[in-house]
Every structure is written in C-alpha cells, then in structure tokens.
Structure 1
Amino acid sequence: MLTMQYKLITKYTGIQMMKKKTLFLLLFTLFAGLTARADDVRFNMSAPNAVELGSQFRLSFVLNTEGENLKLPELNDFDVLMGPSTSNSTSIQMINGKTTRSVTFSYTYILQAKKEGKFTIQPATIEADGKTYTSNSVTIQVVKGSSKPAGGGVDKPAATPGHIDSKDLFVNVDLSRKSVYKGEHLLATIKIYSRVNLSGFDDIELPNFEGFWSQDIDIPQQISLHREAYKGEIYNVGTLKKTILFPQQTGNITIKPVKIVALVRQRIQQPQSIFDDFFDQFSTVKATVLSQPVTVHVKSLPKAPANYSGGVGNFSLESSITATDVKANDAVTLKLKISGNGNLKLIDAPKVDFPADFDTYDPKNTNDFKATENGLVGSTSFEYLVIPRHAGDFTIPAVNFVYFNPATGRYVTKTTKSYDLHVEKGAGNQSNTVVSSGLSKEDVKFLGKDIRYIKTDNNQLFQRNDTFFGSVNFYLIYLGGAFLVLIFYLFNMKRIRENANLARVKNRKASKVAMKHLKVARGVLKQNDAEKFYEAVTRAFWGYLSDKLTIPVADLNKERAAEALLERSVSQELVDRFIETLDTCEFARFAPGGGTTTAMNEMYDKAVEVMSRMEKEIK
C-alpha cells in the first residue's frame, strides 16, 4: 500500500515538473522571439525633393532599432526651426510559430531654407548596440517662393469659377533624348504638373507612337503625386506612363499631343460664417489640357554588313550544343543566346551554315528580357534543330552575330566557336521519315512503325459466347453510377444551402476584405507618417472600388464612383460617408493637426467601417 502511494506521488510530481518545464520553455521561446532584433540595422534620412524659399519642411531620420548620440551634418544653408521630435512604434508578428518583433525610431526636424539653389545634406550618424551607423544623403532644390501653393490653391476662391490657368495644370511628354539612330531606344515619360486640387481624371488620350515600336514600363496603376521643381516653381507631379520607344524609320518623327480631361476641386465662395458647411464651398470642374507635340530626329545607320541581324545596342553572344557524338537521324540542337541592352525583340536569327547533309528547321525564338528606363535588358535565344542523315564527321562553322553600337557609331561582330560532330550509322535498316515541329529533340517523331508485322507465334484464339448485359459487371457499373449521381446531388444541395444567404456570407467576409485593402495604411499608421498614411487610405479606397466596380483606376473619380455605387444599391448616406472620408484624407495630408496619432487612428477606424459597409451593401 505504501509502495503504491509512493509511486502515485512520484508520478504526480513528475507530471507537475514536466508541465513547469514546458511552460518555462514556451515563455523563454516567446521572450527570445520578442526581444530578437534583425541583424540588418537600417538608418535612413528623407526630405522633399524640392521646396520653396521661405516654406518649412521636414527632415526625418528613421532607425529600426534603439539608438543614441544622433549627430547631424552641417546645415549651414538651412534654419533649424524645431527638433528633434522623436517617436517610436513596435510591431509583433507570429508566422509559423515564430515570433518576431520590429521597432522603428523616428527623429524629425523642421527646417527652412535660407536661399535658392540646389543643396545636398550630407549623411548623419547614430550609435546603436555599440556600433556607429551612417545614413544616406539627400538633395533638395530650393526655388523662389510662389503665391500659389502646389497643394492646390484652396486659400482663396477662383477669380473666374471653372477657369484653370494653364500654368497651374499642364501635361508634358518628356524624352530622354531627341536625336537617336534608327532602332536605338529612347524613353518617353508622360507627366502631369499641378498646382490645383486635382481629384482625378475624366478622360486620358495617349498617343499611339506612330513610327516607333514601343514597350510600356510597369508603373503603379494608382498615380502618386510628389513635389518637383519645374522652371523655378513647385508642382505636384504625377507620372501617367513610361514607354520605351524604338524608331523604325528615319527622319523627323512627331509624337502627337496627350489629351487629358482632369477633375479639379475648386473653391467657389468665401464662407459667410463659421457655421457654413466647409465642403459646400467647393465644386468639381473639368479642365482639358494638351501637351505640346515633340519631335524626334532619327538618324540612318551606316551601311550594314551582309550578315547584319538588326540589333542596335550593346550585346554579348553565347552558344551551346546538345551533343557532338550522335547517330544518323538523331536530332541535335544548337542554341545561340544574345544578352545585353537594346532592341532585343527586333533582332533576327543569325544565319548558321549547317552541312548540306543536315535537315534544318526554322529556329525557335525565346525571349527573357524586361523593359526598363535603359531599354530592353535581358536576353533573346534562338534554337536551331538539325538532323544529320548520314554517318561521318561534320563541322558546324562559327556563327557571326553583327549588331550596331550607337555609343560608338560602329558595327560590332561577335563570333561563336565551331562544333565538330561525329555521326555514327543509325540502328536498324528501316527508312525513318522525320516529321518535326522544328523546335526540340522531343518534338521529333519517327514514323514508319505504324504497321504491325505479321505475328508468327502460335497464339491461341478463344471464342466468347457470354454477353455483358445482365452480368455481374453490368450490375456493378449500373449501381456504381447511380451511387455517384446520388452523391453529386447531395453535395450540390449542400452547396446551394450554404450559399443561399448571400447577405450573411458578405457580412462575414466584409471586415476581412476591408482589413486586406487597408493593410498598407495600417503599416504606415504604425510609422506615424501622416502624409503617407492618408495617401495610403485614399489609394486603398480607389483600389477597392476599381476591383468591385470593374472600372480602371485611371477612369475613377468621386462623381463616377458615387454614381456607380448608387446603381449597385449602396445607400446615399454611405456614399456621402465615402466622399467625406476621401475629402478628409485630401485635406488632412498637409493640414496642421492632421498628423496626430489620435486623428490617424480615428480615420483608420472610419475607413474600415465605411469599406466594410460598402462590401455588405454592394450588389
């Protein structure tokens, strides 16, 4: 009895010890994960690209760990009005059971430029974990102050309602160069410049670039405005399109103007009293702007060698072969890979002089390049499939690839090595006819084997008198088919019942959809960056509506969005809340007090509520 009691007590004590150890290990793992920091310490400095003389701007430093002894560079060209204003944020993530913790420390100064010009602020230093880290440098262009702010000119009503000055809103087609060789790339960037309260676009007509082969560069669909100096003035500038152009004819080629119908929020009256509705003081007007036509002078190429393949740029050449010891009627593939920067898409396959006894097929072309501001960068490959018909020793001679280098104005020849092939007699005596799609060894199919030979074996034949109908197999198949039909019917009925209440399904998913679209805004909120936060909320709404209403972002504006939402059975009250949310974001980006943590948290909660309700109500 005593022995049994002792064993029970020992077992109970062991269990308790095991639980304590397990709990300790869990707490230790969690604590270690929470206190772990990334080894990659980042220290960045940021400031506007351009500011007006006399205006205030922020100089910000961001460190992803706790630091001390921040040392600023010399700021002789600027007055430090305030700072540093410090803040920090913390985020914790658990992914696959692993907990990570990241922190951000921000140091912000308010500066004011003393004079016009272009100034570079040298890197700052800070100490963290016993080491010294150096930031990047920033360049700021200071221009003469303007009476009209780039933020939109909302301080006073328009002199003529509905009129937009051409100096306050215009579009340009900027070319990286205006004189090129035929086939040489140039970059065309379409930008809109604004000093008004630009709220969207009603129509955009882009040129089709006649006389050029063009390739668009991937840019964000949502147009993001940034401050930029142009002819001594500060504008909010947005990039509408970037395109790589390759002229296909010589002489002067004129690019037709870009036409944009922009939507501008314009102040129409002064408030009569402090009780007047703030948003009733504005109206949206349409403003049509046209770019100036631009002309490109295209020079002819010098007289080309006979084996010129049409390449213009800077390239290298590689070659490879699948085998050099083969049998007759076996396929061999020679691959030429042209890599570099230029008109890769327009290069013709280099000529290869294969032996006369070889069957040849059209080469297969494979492209692996990307459109960048420096042209098409990557490679284009040509695969030549050949089939030697007879045994012997053969040579595939070296291949010459000739291209034009516009940087030097001369043709360049790249040459591969030659390949010696040893071909043995093929197995068997049958005549093998080759039919090929012309691309790879696997594509080659041998015919001549479609007629079976007469069998000489003593095979036995059996006569079958039994019938399938009424047999065991017949009933098994019949019952099995009926069972499958029943299963399908029950499954379909279950799916119909689950999806019957679409409103309940939408309600369940609405908040998840809103949180997904506002994920970027939530991340910026933790960084305490007001301007980026309100911009992220606005972009989230436009992206959400573009997906739900199947309307391109470039074609969306507040009026069209409101009309489409009402057509999709969204209540007028919710549409008004949506418009109010966007208006608040537009004005809060640069308004005093809009950058407080409380204001941004309230805006985030409001955005989640509005988007969740829209997800429920949109039919």
Structure 2
Amino acid sequence: MFKRMKIEYYIVTVLLLCTNLVFAQDAKFVAAVNSTQVGTGEQFEVSFSVNGNGDRFSPPDFSGFQVLSGPNVSNSITSINGNTTVSNSYSYVLVAVKEGTLTIGPASMVVNGRRLSTSPIRMTVLKGQPVQQNNPSQNAPDNTLEQDAPTDLSKSLFIKAIPDQTSVYQGQQILLTYRLYTKVGIVDSRLDKLPDLTGFWSQEVKDQQQQAQWHVETYKGVKYNVADVRQTILFAEHSGNITIDPFEMTFIARVPAPARDIMDQFFGSYKDVKYGVKSTPLVIHVKPLPENGRPEGFTGAVGNFAVSADVDKTELKANESLTYKVKVSGSGNLKLLKELNVSFPPDFEKYDPKITDTIRETVKGVSGSRMYSYLVIPRHQGNFTIEPLHFSYFNPAMGKYVVLSARSFKIKVNKGTADSNVTAFSAANKEEVKVLDKDIRYIKTGEPGLSRQGERFYNSAWYILLLLTGPVACIAAFMYRNWSRRNNSDLVKVKSRKAGKVAVRHLANAEKQLGNKNEFYDAIFKGLYGYLSDKLNISMADLNRETIVSSLRTRKVNEQLTEQLTDTLDRCEMARYSPVTQLSEREVLEKAKHIINSIEDEI
C-alpha cells in the first residue's frame, strides 16, 4: 500500500512538471499577505505564487519578523473546458517582533529561463504582545535550502575524472570522462569551472547524448546512480607530467530530513542542500616520441593510419589541369596533420592543396579521413612520373614508427594547342619566361606605326619627365625599404600590429558557422585567444585567464572592457560544453568584434 501511494505521488509530480512546460509561457510571480496591519506577537501568513513551475526559489529577507514555519509548498492543477492552469505557492507563517513600518522584500524565482521577482510588501506593525527574538537558525525549518552540506554527503555525491589511460606518448589520444556518482536526488546543477587543459589539444565528443544517460554502477562495493557529464578527447602537445585541474560543479541535492508530522512519516520528509563538488586533479604522464627509428620527413602523425593516392587522368595536353588526391584515413591526431611531402616533376606547376575532412569524435576517439587535393598543370609535353608518396606515423600500440607508400603514376602529356603553347611561367620562378612554340612567326600585317620627321619623342618634355621619373622612383623605393625594415624589425610589434587582421579572419569564419553551435563557438574562442596571444605577446601555452587579465591591467586597459572580455571567454567555453544554452550567437559575435576593436583603440 505504501509503495503504491509513493508511486502515485511521483506520477502527480511528473504531471505537474510536464503541464508546466506548456502553460508557463505567461508566468506571473506575485506576493500576498492575509493582512498588511498586524500587532507584535500576532501571526500572519505571506505567500509567493507563480502560475506555473519554476526553480531556484529565493525567499526575501524577513528582517523584523520571525519565521515560525515555511516555506510550505503547495501545487494545484485546474482544468476548465479543456484549459489547464498550473500554480505553485510558497508560504511562510511569520510573527512581527518590533513596531513600525516594515517591508517584506521581493522574492525571486527562475521561470522558463527568466528570473522573476515579486513586489515588496509594506507592513504596519502596531504594539501588541512582546516577542522573544530567538536565533533565526534555531527556527529555520527543515525544508529550507541549507548552504552547508552534511559532511557525509561527500560519500553520496561526487565526480571522478576517468582517463582511458594515464601514460601516453606525445600526440597520442586520450579519452577523458567526468563521471557523476550519486545516491541522492538532484534538484538542480550548475557548472562552476571547466578544467584548464593547457598542454593539450582538446576536442569534445560530439556523439555524446544531450542529456545524461543514467545507469547503476558499483564503486568500492556501493551501488550508485552514474552519468557521464562530459567527455573530451585530448592530445598531449609536449612530453612530461601534465596536471589537469579539477572539474567543478554545484548541486542542489535532496536529502532525507527528520519527519515533522504523520504525513512526513508516511510519505517521507526531505530538504534541499546546496553542495559543491569538484574532481580530484589528474596527472597524465606523457612520454616523448622515440628518436630511434624516426623516419626522414616524419611530421608528427600519431595513431594508426592508411594512405592512398589517385589521379583524375593519366593523359592530357600541356597547360591542362590534373588533380592528384591523397587520402589519409584511420584514427589518431588527424586534425593535427601537417602538409604532406608530395614530389611532382619540375615541369608541373603545383598549387596549395584543398583539404577535406571527414572526421568524427566519438568515445572510441578521433577517426575518419583527411583528403588532400592538389591541382597541378604540366607545362611541357612528354612522359612524366609522379613518384610514390611516403607517409610516416608513430603507432603507440606497437611502440614504433610505420612508413606507408602510395602508388606512383605515369602521366603522358601531349602537345597543347597553339594558343596555349605560346608562353607559360615556370612553377619554380614566375619571372622566367619559357617559349614553348618553336614555329616560324607570321609576318605582322596592318598599319606600321611610322611617324613624320621632326615629330619625335627624343628631347621632348615627356622624354625629360620620364627620365626624372626613374631617379625619383629609386629614391622613393629606397626610403620605403628603410621604413619597412624599421617597421618590421621588431617581430613582437609586427605580430601585435597584425593581431586584429588575424582575429577578423577567425570571426568571419565564425559568422559563416552561425547556427552550427560547436564550430561557431570554437571559431570565436580561437579568434579571441589567437588575437590575445599576438597582441599581448603571450605564448598559447601560457595564455590563461590570469595572464590575460594581468597583461591588460599592465597596459591600463579599461577594467570594464577586461570584464567583458573574460565574460565572453567564459560564455564561449560554457557554450562549447553545455548541451543547452540561452546565448544568442549573433550577440556573442558582435560582442567579440566590439571587444577586439576596443582593445585595438586602447593599446
């Protein structure tokens, strides 16, 4: 019988929550008292009502009053002609302890993502019975929100940082999972601090569910409800012992409380407790890649890869284009691969490759493929060979280097048309002109362009002006060269001067990614951090919140601007890892542009 009634109680609670999602759009949060004029020692009731469901209720400061009971929470659902109304009420029984005109301040609550507040209530307190003022903590009801959690709650609610391995090679991928263990109910949660992943290149797992998937797990002989709150793939950027800071969250936990009456004894009594949780710092031991056996041309690929190459044609005419494609597939640091060492014949003009990624980040790591597409143009006829591509990587599972080779290709280049074979520029030297057509030139026809005797250019005004142009141009070029050398001699100032242009490119990419949350905030984050690294002359490895704020204050940047910058960085960091956000991407983009422009004006 008891279990059945408990089940019915939870069903009603779920119905209340679900109905609130539909009918809380026009929520109103109001305060009321049964009388605005009371005497000292006289009890009265104040209630705070909302026509929907909300959370994070904050009561007012009852200065001048003594709380006898509360908050007493009540819920109601009314349905008339198919129109359903949900309301929640938080009431307190108070007694005035001193005479005068007193004010019950506003209470606040978050409803549909907006914090609502009630209007203050003015109370007139007349002389009545004297009231002994007790310590407020002695009269605090059991179901109010406690700021200090019980000491034994640490064994019932905690977060563990769980890496799939703690000893890796430089560049080897690590799956880091932050797992929540709880034996108590969780009413609300807030992310307080993300770990500083300095020393790692990180990528959030994208196929992770938007909502935590709970399951039961036994830890040290005790069963817990467990959920993975965040999963990240890390790649160590240097060797040594790298420490990962704690992951911090604050929870509102619902814990059992002593029963006050027979209803509490029957249904159970609970109180909400505010409790901060953080994981233990984690140390990752990173080994350097071995020097022994390192192949020539190794560029830092770590993982398990395969390579293949292809061409779109093996026969073409001179000055026609050819596409040479190389596909690197497998798992590992695919996004950190550098440009390949591709060797083409000297007569082939090569352009920078177009890179296409088909990569997924899952709990199994980063995997997929990267395609390099090279556009090449042979300039002479003949038979040529594109030599095999050699690609090397380090396999951490085998502990050794592996060298792969793609196939070679025989390319036949036929003679091009007369129009396309007249002149071409060498890929090695653009100023070198090659005459490809060896045929006899045709006799020029048309007007010869002769002039009459005496109508000559020599010694004319234009002739003298042209002679003077040369020395003037040389002097101007000399002055410009000296100015350019002085202006670009200091590399730190050059990077600082060009920091704004580099940031503009990142923000332009972010604008293209509007609506694509992860790529958008990643571009904003990289743009701001890259700009600050160049502008403040701080390496990316040393760039963090403290160094940014300290450097800006040293340069006497407006304190309000510094706060806007750190707030935007925090918002971007939160948005990259939080499944749900109320942020406007357009607003974040405009704010980032404003911050960069303001820093440019002040520094």
What TM-score comes out, normalization by structure 1 length? 0.44
What TM-score comes out, normalization by structure 2 length? 0.45
